[in-house]
Amino acid sequence: MEGINVAVNKTIRRIGVLTGGGDCPGLNAVIRAVVKTAIREYRLTVVGFENGFGGLIQNRARDLTEKDVVGILPRGGTILGTTNRDNPFHYPMIINGQKVFKDVSDRVVENINIHNIDAMIIIGGDGSLSIGKELFEEKGLPVVGVPKTIDNDLSATDQTFGFDTALNTATEAIDKLHTTAESHHRIIVLEVMGRYAGWIALEAGLAGGADVILIPEIPFSMENVIKKITDRQEQGKKFSIVVVAEGAKPVGGEMVVQRRVEDSFDPVRLGGIGNVVSYQIEEETGMESRTTVLGHLQRGGTPTAFDRILATRYGTGAVNLVMAGKFGEMVCLRTPNIESVPLADAVGEQRLVPVDGDLIRAAKQIGISFGD
Amino acid sequence: MEGINVAVNKTIRRIGVLTGGGDCPGLNAVIRAVVKTAIREYRLTVVGFENGFGGLIQNRARDLTEKDVVGILPRGGTILGTTNRDNPFHYPMIINGQKVFKDVSDRVVENINIHNIDAMIIIGGDGSLSIGKELFEEKGLPVVGVPKTIDNDLSATDQTFGFDTALNTATEAIDKLHTTAESHHRIIVLEVMGRYAGWIALEAGLAGGADVILIPEIPFSMENVIKKITDRQEQGKKFSIVVVAEGAKPVGGEMVVQRRVEDSFDPVRLGGIGNVVSYQIEEETGMESRTTVLGHLQRGGTPTAFDRILATRYGTGAVNLVMAGKFGEMVCLRTPNIESVPLADAVGEQRLVPVDGDLIRAAKQIGISFGD
Amino acid sequence: MEGINVAVNKTIRRIGVLTGGGDCPGLNAVIRAVVKTAIREYRLTVVGFENGFGGLIQNRARDLTEKDVVGILPRGGTILGTTNRDNPFHYPMIINGQKVFKDVSDRVVENINIHNIDAMIIIGGDGSLSIGKELFEEKGLPVVGVPKTIDNDLSATDQTFGFDTALNTATEAIDKLHTTAESHHRIIVLEVMGRYAGWIALEAGLAGGADVILIPEIPFSMENVIKKITDRQEQGKKFSIVVVAEGAKPVGGEMVVQRRVEDSFDPVRLGGIGNVVSYQIEEETGMESRTTVLGHLQRGGTPTAFDRILATRYGTGAVNLVMAGKFGEMVCLRTPNIESVPLADAVGEQRLVPVDGDLIRAAKQIGISFGD
Amino acid sequence: MEGINVAVNKTIRRIGVLTGGGDCPGLNAVIRAVVKTAIREYRLTVVGFENGFGGLIQNRARDLTEKDVVGILPRGGTILGTTNRDNPFHYPMIINGQKVFKDVSDRVVENINIHNIDAMIIIGGDGSLSIGKELFEEKGLPVVGVPKTIDNDLSATDQTFGFDTALNTATEAIDKLHTTAESHHRIIVLEVMGRYAGWIALEAGLAGGADVILIPEIPFSMENVIKKITDRQEQGKKFSIVVVAEGAKPVGGEMVVQRRVEDSFDPVRLGGIGNVVSYQIEEETGMESRTTVLGHLQRGGTPTAFDRILATRYGTGAVNLVMAGKFGEMVCLRTPNIESVPLADAVGEQRLVPVDGDLIRAAKQIGISFGD
């Protein structure tokens, strides 16, 4: 209830920070808050490692002062660089011309000692936080985590920063496609991110006024999708907006899709699920259908106010965790407070869209089809 | 916990809806969800009253079909019109050339009967919901409420729709002013809405990277504001961003301000508190200071994704409340669910910024001054 | 020089209007200006035909009053609907089970007479304006044209409306992709519209800070593209932004591309040219490359101020042309004035990017590569 | 026709650059293009002077490399700082406790020699360019100018950068205010920049769908403004949008206004002309009227695509001018080319809105009132 209880730990003098995993709006806001809180509130010094765990392994680091974080609050990306690769417990190397994976976690420990780092703040998604957990549990490193994912699928926090920005980017895209769909009497299929969880598709679909939303949590049948579109046509609504999460799947997996597109097309050739769905709609309704794949647009841009604030509070909260000696934990949002949770409880637990939840029910009540 | 429990009430056939109080992004999204849910889920008919309670009193109403709500989801404003006036219990009339206030609530009852309305959904702020409560309690009208305010200061719900949009508008303004402040080495004062609660100022200030935030909940002293600005100057930061809620007040009320501007200026003449603060900064630091007053810009524009979703869920939830026979209640957000609360418990309870809360603490830890 | 000279033609009482071709931001602004100018300035009545020439052929029309155009100025799309099909001189019909093309232009004449239309305003791209020209020349219809294309490739006017909006949409996309490219050390390829003319790619590339721009007017070699990217890498710039017009082609047509992707990929399978370029960059540099295809996003959204103003002036100018009896002409922009030009001179003349022009030279001077 | 003819001047090795006058979106884009063109195309070195002419006088300068201009293209403001003060021919000093103005232009010459600068690029408005002209004519400095003003009121160029961004900011503001005006049946008055020229007010008013536009070039009468508003009311349009340039004046100067507000208000007290107009509308129509003053918001924000491109071309063109030895000239836009014009012909010539021009005529034809 009371947020993170700070009992200042006198032995902390110098902390490290890195950003790992996919790009996400708000990373810079976290870094800024870490640096400002560390310096202003606790008189610490801060070291930034470059390009995720790669920097920890290869000892690419630089001191971060307040000057380094001036003006970065509204900027997407991360001044530290990031990457999805470079797991220190499973690090790719070329030995005798062959690619092998080695445990180089001792190098991490070594580099942290070289820099006299008393605590390490790891900003990342499930993958980076799992590595953080392992460094804490196996190597005894004083690690604190900050959860990050535009997919909003971490179970241990009410929301992750980056999601609200991605959601607004996707919603704006629907707004733009809407007028074209209406003017042209077309079907527009928008494929958004979400490999396992359909949060972006569901919420952007709700916010943008989609007619059909397809998410990984609810296997769909093309028959139902087609029916929704033709029902609308019969009511005089000559266009439809279909929002598809990249991980959405038809009932029974990919098979139905493969059968339908047999001779001349296959899913690989057509690209992602958005193109497959679009192709089948054209085939079966005779209406024109167009696909837009947002892709990395969803990871960029200036963060929304919500994401900047959440990221700032996370950054401040992470330094407070460090000073309270709560290692092996990560900050999380329990609305309206910032609290903490053990990394061991947080990683590996995906937060999926509850199929019988409030949101899905509301969406169905206003007539949105999920193809089920 | 489980959202609104719907036990369909068979006697409901026709519902009314109105929007009251100040304009707020998301009103149209609520109306759309009410109409869609009523028609698609429950086969009801819907009557919209125009211009808040004025329409209920003067019987200006029209049927709302799905066609009426096509395309309104992304639009600011309200297709029903709204007004802050026209309280049926205290209605202004000119009698014998004199303005008097009358109780015309019986007209409201009459008009609701004329239209065969089985339940009335009132979308409004504290004022409109208080009238709704009175109509329910005094006149026995089957009223259900939907809370609305860009100020986010209603205690009975985690958040009101409209706030997120206003917050992003204010944040974007700070972003724009920031570059100018930096290039010109100026002080920029931004006055935002918030007569009693400082949510917009606090959160926009955090999101926009303000140096000073003045809110009604924390009386400020100009000495502290000036000190923050001159401290920054001494550190080589030649500009500062000051965000002021319109209701912010110096310690001891207005007095300090009046004394300082004595001879040639007074607060009325200078406009709002933003201008007063700006004037005094110039006087005491010799730096140039400029003021922007956002005003009604904060009430307009296309709603953010968050506000559209919350508004949609509120609209759907309100119809569900009606069908469950839960009159005298209003929908509210208990993250992540939509629930309900008696109007009697909800109105008249302002949710102020907790002075010792997480948000203020985080803001102070990164060096923001509140002038206290 | 003096804009359109209006010598009011007393016999005009009723005008028709249609929108043809692809969707384009600003169509509604033209319609609004046509209706307002016709009614307010000249006391005419206005008939809108639905879905391009389809409405003229099938007699789907409705009167347009000032009320119909309220609030449409900022909206994308067209309230009249549009389509790329339905050429009255080459109209697809099913006769005896076979698809044949017929000349049904007499139906157009008939429907125009049925509605007592004294002049017809056709808002469209090169295709629709060519039909307009033919209706004027072959059938003697009093036609006036308004040029429209997001591609900005009409020779007879300094600029077409819709282009500025599409350009800003593409530029915003580059802004968002930029931060991700930088943070991840990636190549980002953005495919934009432009089948024959590279205006969107060139100007968005300039505005967004692209490193490589590929346009139809300048055949590119992958060697040069790769060289630019690896040169940047050697200078420590670990990311690059490549903007590709959909119609860009390698030197010698598609061949180079086909050879390189031989066994396992071919352009069809990979989708558009953006994916082909991206694939080859990955293959030859070993760097990660990601593609975003903006697609119809470029046709939607609220028009920019420039497009709204140009569209409004075109709409007003078209009615002035009608009243001046200048049939067979279209409005055009000769900065800063609205003038007119015979359709016969305007259609079929594409305005391509001048390869030795100012813009390309400036782009090269700041180091942008065109792959030539 | 052919743009700037470059005949490379072998003696140029090092150039200086400064930004003077009010902030303007696109300044950074010019600086970036100057640096990139100088270094990549001509192998020059570049020195940036800080805070306008102040830096030239006080010798505050730093070398600018390509690294310094990374990422600044989309950013508002200027990395060099700017100021409206510090005219070297009329420089304020405190001597014997008294403020006096001195000619310190020799210091400028001295500092330029100290830095071995072969040519100086001055980016500024009419004021800064006049100083540039004087330095060229009186002191023989090799000066080249780049015109800048959000007001778009320089006569020697088709358009200045910054204007398109300010215009879109003002248009977006009208869009937001529109929905509120409509929902509340209110008058909304928006005061925009434009002390002498009404370009922003005129074009934003056209783009935003204003009902009344008041600009300095057309003295207005309140009677006409009121009539327009009440005419609209009688037609059932219960709201109106009034856009006022800060420099707009009633017929006969301020007098009419002063008379009307006699006892209790005067223009100074009410703030700018926007508040005065708003107050009088309320007084005479009995309708609620609200004012928003955009202020410095119009000088900030990320530049539009148009402004970024124009600024980039200006920056490149200015270096080309230097290399061609065309000192005492400034770059200008003669659509679609960048050309040059002597500073002597360019400064002191304001480009006002032509009262009988195309734009005003189009605005009047769709029913906009200018109060005349």
pLDDT tens digits for range A53-101: 999 999 999 999 999 999 999 999 999 999 888 899 999 988 898 999 9
- pLDDT value, residue C266: 43
Q: Is residue C341 part of a domain?
A: yes
Are B182 and B112 in the same domain? no
Are D288 and D342 in the same domain? no
Name the closest residue on chain D to residue B288, using Cα atoms: D83
Q: Which of B7-16, B216-225, B279-288, B344-353 has the highest mean pLDDT?
A: B216-225
- A312 membership: H or E segment, kind and range: helix A305-323
CA C331 from chain center: how many Å? 16
> Could you give phi then psi for residue D102, rounded to 5 degrees?
-125, 155
Q: Return the structure tokens found at D153.
A: 């009121």
With a cut of 70, say whether residue B131 has pLDDT above it: yes
Nearest CB neighbour to B183, from listed D78, D173, D179: D78
Are C137 and C206 in the same domain? no
How many residues are there in chain A? 372
- pLDDT value, residue C276: 87
Q: Return the structure tokens found at B46.
A: 């819907």
Distance between CA atoms of B69 and B27, rounded to whole angstroms? 12
Distance between CA atoms of D226 and D280, rounded to whole angstroms? 9
DSSP 8-state assignment for residue D114: H
With a cut of 80, say whether residue A314 has pLDDT above it: yes
Name the closest residue on chain A to residue B71, using Cα atoms: A209
pLDDT tens digits for range B293-318: 888 999 999 999 999 999 999 999 99
- pLDDT value, residue A349: 82
Distance between CA atoms of C258 and C260, rounded to whole angstroms? 5
The mean-pLDDT minimum among A276-285, B197-206, D109-118, D166-175 falls in: A276-285
With a cut of 60, say whether residue D9 has pLDDT above it: no
CB interface of C with D, residues 24-43, below 8 Å = 32-33, 36-37, 40-41
Distance between CA atoms of D15 and D41, rounded to whole angstroms? 14
By the CB < 8 Å criterion, does B175 face chain D? Answer: yes
Which domain CATH number covers C131? 3.40.50.450
Taking an 8 Å cut-off on Cβ atoms, the answer to whether C300 and A82 are in contact is no
Q: Is residue B282 part of a domain?
A: yes
- Among the options B23, B103, B106, B151, which is catalytic? B151
- pLDDT value, residue D261: 38
Name the closest residue on chain C to residue A172, using Cα atoms: C301
Residues of B in contact with A357 (CB under 8 A): 336
Please tell me whether residue A168 adopts helix, strand or coil conformation. helix
Q: Is residue A361 part of a domain?
A: no
Distance between CA atoms of D129 and A34, rounded to whole angstroms? 44
Distance between CA atoms of B279 and B259, rounded to whole angstroms? 13
Taking an 8 Å cut-off on Cβ atoms, the answer to whether D77 and B179 are in contact is yes
By the CB < 8 Å criterion, does A67 face chain C? Answer: no
Higher pLDDT, C18 or C264: C18
Q: What is the DSSP string of C300-326?
A: -SPPPHHHHHHHHHHHHHHHHHHHTT-
Distance between CA atoms of B77 and B301, rounded to whole angstroms? 8
Q: How many CB pairs under 8 A join A and C?
A: 113
With a cut of 70, say whether residue D5 has pLDDT above it: no
Q: Which residue has the tokens 């939509």?
A: B338
With a cut of 50, say whether residue B216 has pLDDT above it: yes
By the CB < 8 Å criterion, does B195 face chain D? Answer: no
Are C324 and C285 in the same domain? no
The mean-pLDDT minimum among A115-119, A132-136, D10-14, D324-328 falls in: D10-14
Distance between CA atoms of B124 and B132, rounded to whole angstroms? 9
CA of B22 to nearest chain D CA: how many angstroms apart? 8
Taking an 8 Å cut-off on Cβ atoms, the answer to whether D36 and C74 are in contact is no
Name the average pLDDT for chain D. Answer: 91
Rg, chain D, Cα only:
23
Nearest CB neighbour to D305, from listed C73, C207, C357: C207
- pLDDT value, residue C270: 55
Are C30 and C105 in the same domain? yes
**Mean pLDDT within C232-246:** 94
The mean-pLDDT minimum among A289-293, B141-145, B341-345, D242-246 falls in: A289-293
Distance between CA atoms of A264 and A271, rounded to whole angstroms? 14
Task: Return the exposure string of B9-44: e unless at least 16 CB atoms fall within 10 Å of the residue's CB, then b.
Answer: eeebeebbbbbbbbbbbbbbbbbbbbbbbbbebbeb
Q: What crossing angle do the helices spanning D273-285 and D222-234 adopt, rounded to 10°? A: 50
Q: What is the ipTM for the molecules in this complex?
A: 0.93
With a cut of 60, say whether residue D197 has pLDDT above it: yes
Please tell me whether residue C190 adopts helix, strand or coil conformation. strand
Q: Exposed, middle or buried, D263 (CB in 10 Å: 0-12/13-18/19+)?
A: exposed
Q: What is the DSSP string of C221-263?
A: -HHHHHHHHHHHHHTT---EEEEEETT--BTTTTHHHHHHTTT
Q: Is residue D355 part of a domain?
A: no
CA angle in degrees (0–180, nearest 5) for C79-C80-C83: 120
With a cut of 70, say whether residue D254 has pLDDT above it: no
- pLDDT value, residue A264: 39
Q: How many CB pairs under 8 A join B and D?
A: 113
Q: Is residue D76 part of a domain?
A: yes
Beta strand D329-334 with D337-342 is: antiparallel
Closest CA to C101 of C114, C82, C86: C86
Q: Return the structure tokens found at B37.
A: 């849910």
Are B307 and B229 in the same domain? no
Cα distances (Å, whole numbers) of residue B133 to A292, B350, D194, D261: 48, 16, 49, 42
Are B266 and B333 in the same domain? no
- pLDDT value, residue B262: 39
List the domain range (segments joined by +) for residue D27.
Answer: 14-161+303-346
8 A C-beta contact, residue A343 and residue A143: yes
Are A59 and A93 in the same domain? yes
Confidence of residue C267 (pLDDT cuts 50, 70, 90): very low
Count of the separate structural domains present in chain D: 2
Q: Return the structure tokens found at C297.
A: 């996003």
Angular region, D43: left φ>0, alpha ψ -120 to 50, beta rest: left
Taking an 8 Å cut-off on Cβ atoms, the answer to whether C292 and A297 are in contact is yes
By the CB < 8 Å criterion, does C366 face chain D? Answer: yes
pLDDT tens digits for range C210-230: 999 999 999 999 999 999 999
Nearest CB neighbour to D3, from listed C167, C302, C358: C358
CA angle in degrees (0–180, nearest 5) for D137-D140-D146: 70
Taking an 8 Å cut-off on Cβ atoms, the answer to whether A82 and C183 are in contact is yes
By the CB < 8 Å criterion, does D111 face chain C? Answer: no
Are B218 and B125 in the same domain? no
Mutation target among C161, C332, C358, C369 for the D interface, most CBs of D within 10 A: C358
Cα distances (Å, whole numbers) of residue C179 to B179, C173, C198, C237, D75: 19, 11, 24, 13, 13
Residues of A in contact with C19 (CB under 8 A): 183
- Among the options D151, D164, D211, D307, which is catalytic? D151
Are B156 and B22 in the same domain? yes
Mutation target among D309, D333, D353, D368 for the C interface, most CBs of C within 10 A: D309
8 A C-beta contact, residue C102 and residue C55: no
Are C138 and C227 in the same domain? no
Q: Is residue A212 part of a domain?
A: yes
Q: Return the structure tokens found at C357.
A: 């022009």
Residues A62, A67, A68, A73: is their CA dihedral positive or negative?
positive
By the CB < 8 Å criterion, does D60 face chain B? Answer: no
Distance between CA atoms of C312 and C303, rounded to whole angstroms? 11
CA B73 from chain center: how many Å? 19
CB-side neighbour CA atoms (13 Å) of A1: 0
- pLDDT value, residue B348: 84
The mean-pLDDT minimum among A42-56, A301-315, A345-359, B45-59 falls in: A345-359
CA of D92 to nearest chain C CA: how many angstroms apart? 39
Order of all β-strands in the sheet with D143-147: D61-64, D45-49, D14-19, D119-124, D143-147, D329-334, D337-342
Domain boundary among A268, A296, A324: A296
Distance between CA atoms of C326 and A296, rounded to whole angstroms? 50
Residues D316, D318, D320, D323: is their CA dihedral positive or negative?
negative
Confidence of residue B140 (pLDDT cuts 50, 70, 90): very high
Distance between CA atoms of A309 and C349, rounded to whole angstroms? 53
Name the average pLDDT for chain C. Answer: 91
- pLDDT value, residue D275: 86
Q: Is residue C1 part of a domain?
A: no
By the CB < 8 Å criterion, does B128 face chain D? Answer: no
Nearest CB neighbour to D37, from listed C3, C309, C366: C366
Nearest CB neighbour to B367, from listed A40, A74, A208: A40
Are B150 and B132 in the same domain? yes
Q: Is residue B86 part of a domain?
A: yes
pLDDT tens digits for range D173-193: 999 999 889 888 899 999 999
Residues near D11 by beta carbon (within 8 Å), at least 6 away in sequence: D118
8 A C-beta contact, residue A146 and residue A315: yes
Confidence of residue A279 (pLDDT cuts 50, 70, 90): confident
Q: Nearest 10 degrees: CA dihedral of A55, A60, A64, A70?
A: -80
**Mean pLDDT within C348-371:** 94
- Report, in this order, helix, strand and coil percent for chain B, each rounded to 5: 40, 20, 40
pLDDT tens digits for range D99-127: 999 999 999 999 999 999 999 999 999 99
8 A C-beta contact, residue A129 and residue A145: yes
Nearest CB neighbour to B269, from listed D77, D269, D301: D269
CB interface of A with C, residues 199-218, below 8 Å = none
CA of A76 to nearest chain C CA: how many angstroms apart? 6
By the CB < 8 Å criterion, does A290 face chain C? Answer: yes
**Mean pLDDT within C117-143:** 97
Which domain CATH number covers C238? 3.40.50.460
For chain C, how far is it from start to end, CA to CA, in angstroms?
39
With a cut of 70, say whether residue D260 has pLDDT above it: no
8 A C-beta contact, residue A229 and residue A287: yes
- pLDDT value, residue D270: 55
Q: Nearest 10 degrees: CA dihedral of C251, C255, C256, C262?
A: 170
Name the closest residue on chain B to residue A311, using Cα atoms: B207
With a cut of 50, say whether residue B44 has pLDDT above it: yes
Nearest CB neighbour to B77, from listed D27, D76, D180: D180
- pLDDT value, residue B257: 43
Which pTM was predicted? Answer: 0.94
Confidence of residue D258 (pLDDT cuts 50, 70, 90): very low
- Among the options C23, C151, C153, C307, which is catalytic? C151
> Is D164 marked within a binding site?
no
> Is A186 marked within a binding site?
yes
8 A C-beta contact, residue B278 and residue B289: yes
Residues near D176 by beta carbon (within 8 Å), at least 6 away in sequence: B76, B169, B296, B297, B299, B300, B301
By the CB < 8 Å criterion, does B271 face chain D? Answer: yes
Closest CA to C347 of C163, C49, C145: C145
CA of D307 to nearest chain B CA: how many angstroms apart? 16
Distance between CA atoms of C198 and B342, rounded to whole angstroms? 61
CA angle in degrees (0–180, nearest 5) for B338-A125-D75: 90
**Mean pLDDT within A239-248:** 96
- C206 membership: H or E segment, kind and range: helix C199-208
By the CB < 8 Å criterion, does C128 face chain A? Answer: no
Mutation target among B37, B304, B335, B337 for the A interface, most CBs of A within 10 A: B304
8 A C-beta contact, residue C148 and residue C123: yes
- pLDDT value, residue A128: 96
Name the closest residue on chain A to residue B359, using Cα atoms: A313
